[in-house]
Amino acid sequence: MLKKRKTFSPILFFLFLFIVFLFSNQHASSQSSSERLPKEVANIPLPKLLDFGANKCIPCKKMAPILQELSEEYKGRVVIKIIEVYQDQQLTRANGIRLIPTQIFFDAKNQEVYRHMGFMDKGEIKKVFEKMGVK
């Protein structure tokens, strides 16, 4: 007499992962915008770009001079802020950061309008600014 083995269906496994991912991402969107932005930029009525990264992250290091250039180029039109994920863990959690670097674009009313995970070059960032109406 053979015993029937119970196997865990791959479909159920992926469904479980999808549900966990879905609910974990809702945490960031349920946070108020004031909890998701640094206090020093939350009250500035301009579009914002928050870049979440770390000093030891190679793509983050490559983005730093790009963000500095863009900060000077868009001065008075966009606020660009680099967030060190290991130093500002509360802000990192509030925004549901899972990969660094992650860039989050907010409109002037502090509503998230775009999110990108991974390295983002200067041209890509400028395209997002254009879509946001920043000239």
Is 106 assigned a catalytic role?
no
Is 5 assigned a catalytic role?
no
Considering the candidates 46, 54, 57, 134, report the single residue annotated as catalytic: 57
Considering the candidates 60, 66, 97, 104, report the single residue annotated as catalytic: 60
Please tell me the distance from the alpha carbon of residue 59 to that of residue 63, in angstroms, as a whole number.
6
Please tell me the distance from the alpha carbon of residue 32 to that of residue 43, in angstroms, as a whole number.
14
Strand partners, 49: 80, 105
Active site (catalytic) residues: 57, 60
